[in-house]
Amino acid sequence: MSTLTELIAQVKLELKDTGNARWSDAELTAHIRRALRAYNRVDPQRLVATLPSAEGQREYSLAGLAGLMEVTDLWYPWDEDNPAYPPPRPQWSLIGDGLLYLEVEAPPRGDGTDDLRVFYTAPHTIQGLDGAGATTLDAQGEQVVILGASAYAAMQLAQSLMGTVTVSGWTPRQFQDWAMARAKAFEVSLEQVRRRATMAQDSRVSWKD
């Protein structure tokens, strides 16, 4: 998968601005960050983690789940060596910030046979962006983020040229139309990603440990 530096280079190619004549790397980084946030709203990472149970304890901190956006499912009791089928799904609730409460009659035994298997979503990351050590987007996701970043960059340029006279042969209105076309293409791509993610969840794709 691509690093931030590589994605910036691809956005420059998309914008035909490899020499940074119109956009700096810092500006393109901000546009990539914004496009990634939009992508994460429609198709975040789907992850799974096992929380060891503790004897008599019904409340569990989720602070160890990096980037936690939403808890989507819980299997309990969970025995890694002898998983039940179908998996038991108890009542649970989130009480306060990152604190999961098991709404079960008998509290956990804490003997390793009744752990909590938590399914959750977290943002995708790009290696080199905001300290991330890895890029978790697939190839299609990267292309959508590149398109989104180029759309935001185009909108930035179009807004800066409003009411000015350009020397490029394009009018400010032409720049605006170009920017809006890229923004529309980004919206369409995000909708396609959303549909793909919905279909994947419906087919019960595997989650990442």
pLDDT digits (tens, 9 = 90+) for 93-136: 999 889 999 999 999 999 999 999 999 999 999 999 999 999 99
Place 198 in a pLDDT band, splitting at 50, 70 and 90: confident
Closest CA to 145 of 38, 13, 14: 38
What residues contact 108, with CB distance under 8 A and at least 6 apart?
53, 54, 55, 56, 57, 58, 77, 102, 114
Instruction: Give the confidence band of 162 by pLDDT, cuts at 50, 70, 90.
Output: low
- What is the tens place of the pLDDT at every residue in 7-32? 999 999 999 999 999 999 999 999 99
- Alpha-carbon distance of 13 to 18, in angstroms, equals 6
pTM for this structure?
0.88
Q: What distance in Å separates the CA atoms of residue 49 and residue 183, rounded to the nearest whole number?
A: 36
Q: How far apart are CA 123 and CA 96, in angstroms?
A: 21
Q: Which residues contact 13 (CB under 8 A, 6 or more apart)?
A: none
What's the mean pLDDT when you consider all of the chain? 91
pLDDT at 175: 81
